[in-house]
Structure 1
Amino acid sequence: MTDRKILSDAFVAGAGWADAQRRFLAGDASARSYDRLVRGAETAVLMDAPPDRGEDVRPFVTMANHLRGLGLSAPAILAQDAANGFLLIEDLGDTLYARLLKGDPGPETAIYTAAVEVLAHLQAAPAPPGLPDHSRGFMANAAGLSQIWYARAITGQPQDATALIAAMDRAMAAHCTARPVLVLRDYHAENLLWLPGRSGLARVGLLDFQMGSMGQPEYDLISLLQDARRDVPRDLANRMIRHFAATTGADPDPTATACAVLGAQRALRILGGFTRLSLHFGKPGYVRLIPRVWAHLQHDLAHPALAEVRAAARLPDPTPGALQRITDLCGTVPTL
């Protein structure tokens, strides 16, 4: 038995769940993992976030309490051990948007409308103090990951991201100028649950928000509508952008332009991030998502506001051969 298992067993016992059955629930791109605890008709979720691997449960607790204070459905914190990186949280179930819509696309408009309205409600409230700044410079540099990891992996040659970073910085300076609001950063169909037994905005269950920071209002919106893991119909995405603008009182045309700019930034970052997850962290499953992200990027780069970014990107297409190269390099790059 590992030291980590001994610690988690002690935490679970101390929380009063020693007699529960324990079933693996999920892992993600980070070092965190989740188990479901089952005790008769009761369930809870154990989050294991190892501090020695850079994880910290305290931001999750802060954000969960903030969201719940706004009447939103983040999991309740049932027990915590921040020093050792364990949380016991409310189990919101399995009806993820992605899972629900895979079986029946009929509710798509209704549940995406609710998710957009959650964002409007969230952004209208003051954010918790002391959050990191998802600043323009931070985001521009993150877009450069597409050159540093994705393009380099495919070409086999080091890439200079300077021009791309500068072009992205200028595009955001021109078109992403709203007052910063709380952004959850991973707001998409595999982190949202549909809870029809609740009412109003509480029907949208929220997961994976511990990286909340201050950023542009359209960032979480475009995360929802340009999902790396499922196709969102273009007409639905356009309607949701208009609905977000109407709900927040924003001008729809600048909102749509900001969505294109932030969508391009996000796609560029994800291309680099997914490649890094394969090459550096040995997680090749993310490679299969790259073509969808690429399609989002091409759509966004066609916007006139992104002409300079489009010229600076110079990225190779994710052909089957290119994707195979990224997969073949899985786990072989300790650092750049």
Structure 2
Amino acid sequence: MSARSLQRHLADESRTVLLGEDIAAVLKPGDVLALEGDLGAGKTTLARAIIRALVGDQSLEVPSPTFTLVQSYDARIPVRHFDLYRLSDPGELLELGFDEAREEGIVLVEWPERAGGLIGDDVIRIRLDEEGEGRVADIAAPPEALARIGRSLVIGDFIEKTDWAGGHRAFLLGDASTRAYETVTAEGKPRVILMNAPQRPDGPPVRDGKPYSRIAHLAENVKPFVAIDNALRGQGIAAPEIFARDIRQGILLIEDLGSEGVIDGAGRPIAERYIAAAELLARLHAVDWPHECEIVPGSRYRIPDYDHGAMTIEVELYVDWYLPEMTGTPDAHIRDRFARQWNAVFDRLKRAEKSLVLRDFHSPNLIWRGDRKGHDRLGIIDFQDALIGPSAYDVASLAMDARVTVEPVLERAILDAYCRARSAAGAFDRAAFEEAYAIMAAQRNSKILGIFVRLNNRDGKPQYMKHLPRIRDYMARALRHEALAPVREFYAGIDVLAPAVG
């Protein structure tokens, strides 16, 4: 496999440690790092930095495996550290469990030249050599791995231009989306969150020459996040402050709002916090949001409408992914009937109240700050895909939380709290709201059923399948509303939700 290289000058040991953290941030299972260089070149320092970053403990004792030959670490991705200086025969490498280590996680190898070629060519090679008073690191790797490392080095350079220069990076989150998050800690500074959100590449055209992301109005870069963040903060809503940004590269350094959520240790919703979130939504929906908001001075972003095309292509994920999983691929007749019946339902939304729709207003994106008062007790994150559309959508996101079981009693309490707060602020049509709520709940849960199956079948993420029974139950609740009669017939007719609907 062909390889190119990157070079980094390391002025002192602290720069070697930062390089290790930059590399650790983007490693994945199956990566093998061959650390080359003379005695004293800094290989062990680099290996320790990588291991500590993966474990998430800067004080972790990382002994050199010179005598044991291999040392194992229980990190977010399992790590094994090999030192082959005392290896008497290359064949011993296999006896030490090298192949198994590679299959299970990440492998660091010092003195790889003693392996006699057994570690293979498709590895990340990092050679450290003295240069002046410091060192130079030459990094060679297959193109995909080198691109990952190159991106991480860009992020490291970005941090060095901020008040958190010299800070330690640690993996925080990276899951279903194209974004990833890290924490950055520096002495004398509050911990901050680094958002790594490179430009989203367009997928293949799926309709009218456009990719899914364009039709569904998904954020393609960080501009929407920055703009919506500015708009929310301008209304006194607790979105994170942005401390530093590189919009072109898609890198933001933002406020850490905290780590306490709205669910308890057993994964159950905390009613008080869900009620507070409903009241925050009522406050948010009372604002007359403009279609345009500022990104930076002189640059503005237009918030897309949650239009018919976006709603339709989202709900069709149900027939694209969920139905084939449960009943086999539907024929054209079934797909056409599904589209016609949903179009009739969507037509009813012309009368629905419109507001800012954050799109994923549920437990993973709500931060509880119990030391604050009023609406400031809730911090909100993950709103870059926001639209202007039926305000009931976000209420459905909360009251039918995809990740947490919200029982019908709590769902009703959430709706009651929201409606009370809206009525207290002025004229409010509860019947119209409840119709829009049912429609958007059914639309959202249909979409999520499709997305969770897609994450399993296409992306190899089976953990989402455990949520399907909950989403099916939510679907059954939403479908009871008379506005959903056309699609209720469809769902019951294909017998996928029949036990719950009936």
User: Do they fold alike, i.e. is TM over 0.5?
Assistant: yes
1:163 equivalent in alignment to 2:310: no
Q: Is the 8 A contact 1:151 1:315 kept in 2?
A: no
Count of residues paired in the alignment:
315
Match of 1:153 in 2: 325
Q: Measured at CA, do residues 162 and 150 of structure 1 come closer, stay the same or move farther in structure 2, by a change above 3 Å?
A: same
Match of 1:325 in 2: none
Instruction: Choose 1 or 2 for highest CA Rg.
Output: 2
Q: Measured at CA, do residues 84 and 49 of structure 1 come closer, stay the same or move farther in structure 2, by a change above 3 Å?
A: same
Matches within 5 A, 1:14-163: 14-40=161-187, 42-51=190-199, 53=201, 55-98=220-263, 101-102=264-265, 108-128=270-290, 129=292, 130-160=302-332, 161-163=335-337
Residue 121 of structure 1 deviates from its aligned partner by 1.5
Residue 137 of structure 1 deviates from its aligned partner by 4.0
Q: Counterpart of 2:451 in 1: which secondary structure?
A: helix
Runs ≥4 in structure 1, deviation > 6 angstroms?
none
Q: 1:279 aligns with which of 451, 457, 470?
A: 457
For 1:275 and 1:206, how far apart are their aligned partners in 2? Answer: 27
Residue 64 of structure 1 deviates from its aligned partner by 0.9
Comparing 130-139 with 28-37, greater Cα deviation is found at 130-139
For 2:176 and 2:259, how far apart are their aligned partners in 1? Answer: 19
For 1:159 and 1:195, how far apart are their aligned partners in 2? Answer: 50
Q: Is the 8 A contact 1:242 1:252 kept in 2?
A: no
AA matched with 1:76: E
Q: Is the 8 A contact 1:184 1:213 kept in 2?
A: yes
Q: Is the 8 A contact 1:79 1:89 kept in 2?
A: yes
Cα-to-partner distance string for 1:85-132 (whole Å, 9 max, x where unaligned): 10000011101213xx23696x93322222112112212223241211
Cα-to-partner distance string for 1:298-328 (whole Å, 9 max, x where unaligned): 121233322210122355649xxxxxxxxxx
Structure 1: runs of 5+ lacking an equivalent: 319-336
Matches within 5 A, 1:251-330: 251-313=429-491, 314-315=493-494, 317=496
Q: Counterpart of 1:196 in 2: which secondary structure?
A: coil
Comparing 43-52 with 280-289, greater Cα deviation is found at 280-289
Q: Counterpart of 2:449 in 1: which secondary structure?
A: helix
Cα-to-partner distance string for 1:137-174 (whole Å, 9 max, x where unaligned): 42133212101111123334244422222212222323
Higher relative contact order (CA 8 A, sep 6+): 1
AA matched with 1:64: D
Cα-to-partner distance string for 1:1-28 (whole Å, 9 max, x where unaligned): 5111111100111113232121111113
More helix by share: 1
For 2:399 and 2:360, how far apart are their aligned partners in 1? Answer: 12
Match of 2:360 in 1: 186
For 2:267 and 2:326, how far apart are their aligned partners in 1? Answer: 37
Residue 230 of structure 1 deviates from its aligned partner by 0.4
AA matched with 2:175: D
Match of 1:221 in 2: 395
Q: Counterpart of 1:87 in 2: which secondary structure?
A: strand
For 1:304 and 1:123, how far apart are their aligned partners in 2? Answer: 25
For 2:155 and 2:382, how far apart are their aligned partners in 1? Answer: 20
Match of 1:324 in 2: none
Match of 2:150 in 1: 3
Q: Counterpart of 1:309 in 2: which secondary structure?
A: helix
Residue 53 of structure 1 deviates from its aligned partner by 4.2
Q: Is the 8 A contact 2:196 2:250 kept in 1?
A: yes
Q: Is the 8 A contact 2:267 2:404 kept in 1?
A: no
AA matched with 2:477: H
Q: Counterpart of 2:252 in 1: which secondary structure?
A: strand
Normalising by structure 2, we get a TM-score of 0.59
AA matched with 2:186: R
Q: Measured at CA, do residues 146 and 13 of structure 1 come closer, stay the same or move farther in structure 2, by a change above 3 Å?
A: same
For 1:260 and 1:179, how far apart are their aligned partners in 2? Answer: 14
What is the root-mean-square deviation of aligned Cα atoms in Å?
Answer: 2.1
AA matched with 2:364: E
AA matched with 1:276: R
Q: Measured at CA, do residues 176 and 271 of structure 1 come closer, stay the same or move farther in structure 2, by a change above 3 Å?
A: farther
Q: Counterpart of 1:190 in 2: which secondary structure?
A: helix
Matches within 5 A, 1:196-207: 196-207=370-381
AA matched with 1:275: V
Normalising by structure 1, we get a TM-score of 0.87
For 2:474 and 2:463, how far apart are their aligned partners in 1? Answer: 19
Q: Is the 8 A contact 2:318 2:449 kept in 1?
A: yes
Percent identical pairs in the alignment equals 36
Residue 181 of structure 1 deviates from its aligned partner by 0.8
